[in-house]
């Protein structure tokens, strides 16, 4: 079972298992977790627990709820999250983290597993001797092992954020921004910043190339047209071509310079 | 009818940046308008075995049957097209083969696979799927997810426990509720949709949609639509650039023009003569 560790000024006050579907937090005595402090609202927040997932929701409290330093309205609690209510801190310990205690295999984190409703049902019944039941139990075990693996403290999610969106942010932050400036043609002198992961250049049906922004830098790839683009007077191959600062690209009769912005 | 002239197909599969094995399996049969993608699961190399069996069984069996039948005819017994019946039968057959292998050989115990199959015929596409491998459609600049995952996450979203936003950070993305080869019988979800010239269909394993946002997929497909092979490679590369924590597979199918099926008495005679 997931639990919360209540502490103040680094002193652990108590451990609270999240046994109920709704665990309320507030100053008034009818709350499941009562924190008698004026910074805490009467009904401050609630934690809704469904299977192994716990969600924290602020109930419109006066001083707000802060998780890991960020004020939240609603939050999907993850292992080691710290909820701050005034001077008090509640540390969330995920269920799987306790069960696994380091035995979880993080390589299994994303491995696709089957979760069968029948397996869940049968695991609740008394064990039966039919091979079907034992197989179902095995799948169930495997499934819970997978769940156990995901909240392992050494888990990959700590270093590699799960959402690609989140993953792309640091990638682009540490990388210099590229841009191209047109050197010839009607729009000569015009500049185009390459902020998107993909930028297409050229005329559809005549000659098109794409500039891709990757962690390793910028690449140009030929997409369509009889001739491939030139970089510094040399025609590029069919594979993506890495661009260097101040490379000159020639495409569909237009010359342009690629450069990195400081 | 030879669909190789009507459909442009490109595919790409990659183990990703973390896994040593590729448990995904893809197969295409342009002449019959059939594409299959499977994402296997199970210990050691059993996942590869399951996904490999799924794609092989379905593609070879369907190829044989399609050579002598008109998929757009109506089956008088079920009032469905023959294609829909065939598709279900072949998926069940693949399920049986994998299940039998898993039962009889201890090293394959518990193996299974997700599946998404598309059959293009008579200006429409027939889609069968199990698990969290997906079919997307890019039409008129908008990317739409055609299949709905059979996964715990999707069920939680449907029942309102999670919003789509929370689901992106949920931790049990990998739990599927339906798969091929796990149980002696399974019911694939089968749907049929009309196609239009210019449509671009994308079949992918969860290694793509977990790592790359739908918007980015859409941008890449629109930017690189002129070169499908490159678009497929680009999608795989984007998944790998974002971490590539799972095997990544994509199949792209573009409809170049209309492909009405043969109809009427002559078609029947022709089919019979073959």
What are the pLDDT digits (tens) for B88-122? 999 999 999 999 999 998 888 889 999 999 999 99
Chain A residues touching residue B132 (CB < 8 angstroms): 112
Identity of the residue in B161, B169, B178 whose CB atom sits nearest the CB atom of A163:
B169
Q: What's chain A's length in residues?
A: 262
Mean pLDDT, residues B25-38: 95
Q: Which two tokens stand for residue B45?
A: 């190399």
More confident residue, B168 or B199: B199
Interface test with B, best of A53, A73, A112, A196 (most B CBs within 10 A): A112
Mean pLDDT, residues B201-206: 96
CB contact under 8 A, B177 and A196: no
Chain pair A-B, CB pairs under 8 angstroms: 128
**How many other CB atoms sit within 10 Å of the CB of residue A26?**
22
> What's the pLDDT score for residue A140?
45
Indicate whether B264 pLDDT > 70.
Answer: no
Q: Which two tokens stand for residue B94?
A: 């693949």
Interface test with B, best of A52, A57, A106, A114 (most B CBs within 10 A): A114
B270: confidence class by pLDDT, cuts 50, 70, 90: low
> What's the pLDDT score for residue B94?
95
Contact (Cβ atoms closer than 8 angstroms) between residue A46 and residue A60: no
> What's the pLDDT score for residue A165?
41
Residue A208 touches chain B, beta carbons under 8 Å: yes
CB contact under 8 A, B227 and A223: yes
Contact (Cβ atoms closer than 8 angstroms) between residue A178 and residue A169: no
Contact (Cβ atoms closer than 8 angstroms) between residue B159 and residue B177: no
Burial B105-139 (b: 16+ CB within 10 A, else e): eeebebbbbbbbbbbbbbbbbbbbbbbbbbbbbbe
> What's the pLDDT score for residue B69?
83
Half-sphere exposure of residue B13, counting CA atoms within 13 Å on the CB side?
22
User: How near does any CA of chain B get to the CA of A242, in Å?
Assistant: 15
> What's the pLDDT score for residue B123?
92
> What's the pLDDT score for residue B97?
94
> What's the pLDDT score for residue A164?
41
Residue A174 touches chain B, beta carbons under 8 Å: no
Identity of the residue in B132, B161, B237 whose CB atom sits nearest the CB atom of A50:
B161
Residue B216 touches chain A, beta carbons under 8 Å: yes
Indicate whether B22 pLDDT > 60.
Answer: yes
Mean pLDDT, residues B30-54: 90
> What's the pLDDT score for residue A237?
87
**How many other CB atoms sit within 10 Å of the CB of residue A60?**
11
User: How near does any CA of chain B get to the CA of A156, in Å?
Assistant: 10
**How many other CB atoms sit within 10 Å of the CB of residue B13?**
19
> What's the pLDDT score for residue A133?
41
> What's the pLDDT score for residue A127?
41
Strand-pair partners of A198 = A212
**Strand, coil or helix: what is B231?**
helix
CB contact under 8 A, A223 and B237: no
pLDDT < 70: residue spans in chain A: 96-111, 116-174, 262
B43: confidence class by pLDDT, cuts 50, 70, 90: low
> What's the pLDDT score for residue B234?
92
CB contact under 8 A, B227 and A163: no
Interface test with A, best of B43, B54, B240, B241 (most A CBs within 10 A): B241
> What's the pLDDT score for residue B1?
64
Q: Which of B16-30, B143-157, B165-179 has the lowest mean pLDDT?
A: B165-179
> What's the pLDDT score for residue A19?
85
> What's the pLDDT score for residue B113?
94
B15: confidence class by pLDDT, cuts 50, 70, 90: very high
Question: Can you tell me the distance from the alpha carbon of B230 to that of A197, in angstroms, rounded to the nearest whole number?
Answer: 15
């Amino acid at each position: 079972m997931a639990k919360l560790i209540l502490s103040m000024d680094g002193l652990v006050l108590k451990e609270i298992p999240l046994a109920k579907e709704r665990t309320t937090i507030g100053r008034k005595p009818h709350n499941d977790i009562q924190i008698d402090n004026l910074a805490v609202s009467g009904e401050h927040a609630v934690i809704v627990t469904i299977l192994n997932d716990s969600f924290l929701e602020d109930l419109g409290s006066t001083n707000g709820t802060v998780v890991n330093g960020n004020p939240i309205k609603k939050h999907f609690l993850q292992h080691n999250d710290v909820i701050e209510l005034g001077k008090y801190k509640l540390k969330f310990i995920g269920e799987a983290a306790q069960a696994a205690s380091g035995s979880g295999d993080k390589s299994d984190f994303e491995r696709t597993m089957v979760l069968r409703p029948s397996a869940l049902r049968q695991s609740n019944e008394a064990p039966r001797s039919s091979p079907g039941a034992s197989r179902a139990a095995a799948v169930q075990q495997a499934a819970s092992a997978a769940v156990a693996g995901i909240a392992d403290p050494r888990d990959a999610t700590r270093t590699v954020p799960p959402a690609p969106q989140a993953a792309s942010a640091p990638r682009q932050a540490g990388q210099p921004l590229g841009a191209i400036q047109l050197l010839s043609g009607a729009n000569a002198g015009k500049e185009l910043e390459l902020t998107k992961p993909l930028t297409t250049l050229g005329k559809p049906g005549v000659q098109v190339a794409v500039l891709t922004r990757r962690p390793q830098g910028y690449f140009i790839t030929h997409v369509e047209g009889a001739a491939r683009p030139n970089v510094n007077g040399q025609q590029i191959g069919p594979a993506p071509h890495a661009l260097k600062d101040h490379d000159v690209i020639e495409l569909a009769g237009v010359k342009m310079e690629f450069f990195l912005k400081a | 009818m030879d669909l190789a002239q009507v459909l442009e197909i490109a595919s790409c599969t990659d183990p990703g940046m973390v896994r040593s094995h590729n448990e995904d399996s893809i197969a295409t049969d342009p002449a019959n308008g059939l594409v299959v993608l499977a994402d296997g699961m199970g210990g050691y190399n059993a996942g590869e075995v399951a996904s490999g069996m799924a794609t092989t069984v379905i593609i070879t069996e369907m190829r044989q049957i399609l050579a002598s039948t008109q998929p757009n005819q109506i089956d008088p017994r079920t009032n469905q097209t023959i294609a829909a019946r065939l598709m279900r039968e072949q998926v069940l057959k693949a399920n049986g083969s994998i299940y039998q292998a898993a039962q009889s050989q201890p090293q394959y115990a518990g193996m299974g696979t997700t599946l998404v199959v598309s059959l293009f015929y008579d200006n429409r596409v027939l889609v069968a799927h199990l698990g969290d491998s997906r079919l997307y459609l890019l039409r008129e600049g908008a990317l739409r997810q055609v299949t709905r995952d059979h996964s715990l996450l999707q069920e939680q979203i449907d029942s309102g426990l999670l919003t789509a936003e929370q689901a992106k950070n949920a931790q049990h993305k990998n739990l599927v509720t339906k798969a091929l080869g796990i149980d002696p019988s399974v019911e694939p979800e089968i749907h049929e949709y009309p196609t239009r010239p210019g449509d671009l269909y994308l079949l992918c394993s969860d290694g793509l949609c977990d790592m790359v946002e739908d918007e980015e997929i859409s941008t890449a497909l629109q930017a690189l639509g002129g070169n499908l092979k490159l678009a497929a490679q680009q999608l795989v590369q984007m998944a790998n650039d974002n971490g590539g924590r799972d095997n990544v597979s994509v199949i792209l199918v573009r409809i170049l023009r209309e492909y009405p099926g043969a109809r009427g008495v002559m078609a029947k005679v022709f089919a019979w003569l073959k």
